[in-house]
Structure 1
Amino acid sequence: MQQLSLTFEPGLAQRSRCLRDHMATRIYSRGLVDVAGKLDMSPSKMTEKLAGSDSGGKSRGMTIDELETYIQRTGDISPVHYLADKYLRDPAVTQQEALAKLASLAEVIPGLMAAAGLQVAPVRRGR
């Protein structure tokens, strides 16, 4: 059995509402004309696919084959990372990450409150 290890940007799935939005962000940041050319389609057709429909409201979403072609021709594997981040997260790991962030914030908050001129109540330890 083979093990697969993924390393990707934290919070990737939280930055986009859906895969279509993620793809639109990536494609527009790379340059719509350049990416459309790599996929052998016009920029206007690419825009329709990213919008999910044409100007008349007819469905024009990106196909799975086009997604694969995009990944292959651009080398951008972030759509795969997006899906993995969104659907393959271990809830226990997510909880541990959140607890670690809370612990680091707990150390910083009193100093921030003092700098903001707010009173910081002393922390009571034990009974």
Structure 2
Amino acid sequence: MNLSPVITGAAAPQAAAQMAVSLVIEPGLSRRHTSLRDVVSTGVYQHGLSRVAAEVGVPAGNLSRQLEGSGLRRLSVDTLEAYIAEFDDLRPIHYLVERYVLASAHRADDAHKAAVLAQVQALMASLDR
């Protein structure tokens, strides 16, 4: 998959630099997990809750409650970034790409295919006349 980020808006330089990025994404992350929190929770428990908590600077009990998503304690973006950096676990990022970027691309592709099919059907109908 290639992603080409483009800078737009008032702060954009005159000639925006583009960069293609290739990602190898574990297929089915968005089908196996119900949310980003679920992806992170799975990774945290695979690495060991106490170990992860120590590395990201959050007490284990608090991290456990954050991963549950209940009550007032929520998983912070800072904790997520620390987890990804410390454990080099890119699955949370891949989940977001698969769920939002690829899903959007698939919807656009499906819409294009439907439009082409409609055109082909219209041409076939005109040939039958």
Q: TM-score range by the shorter chain?
A: 0.5 to 0.7
Aligned to 2:61: 44
Between Structure 1 and Structure 2, how many residues are aligned? 91
Gaps of 5+ in 1: 96-127
- Please list the CA deviations of residues 1-58 of structure 1 after superposition, one character each: whole Å capped at 9, or x if unmatched: 11011101111111000001111111111111111110112211110110113xxxx3
Q: Residue 77 in 1 paired to residue 94 in 2?
A: no
Between 1:83-92 and 1:43-52, the stretch displaced more is: 83-92
C-alpha deviation, 1:93, in angstroms: 9.2
Q: Distance in 1 between matches of 2:109 and 2:83?
A: 30
C-alpha deviation, 1:80, in angstroms: 0.4
Q: Distance in 1 between matches of 2:37 and 2:93?
A: 12
Q: Distance in 1 between matches of 2:27 and 2:40?
A: 17
SS of equivalent to 1:88: helix
- Please list the CA deviations of residues 50-103 of structure 1 after superposition, one character each: whole Å capped at 9, or x if unmatched: 0113xxxx32111111111111111111110010011011216986xxxxxxxx
Identity across the alignment (%): 34
Q: Distance in 2 between matches of 1:10 and 1:94?
A: 19
Aligned to 2:106: 91
- TM-score, scaled relative to structure 2: 0.65
Matches within 5 A, 1:1-127: 1-53=18-70, 58-89=71-102, 90-91=105-106
Moved over 4 A (4+): 92-95
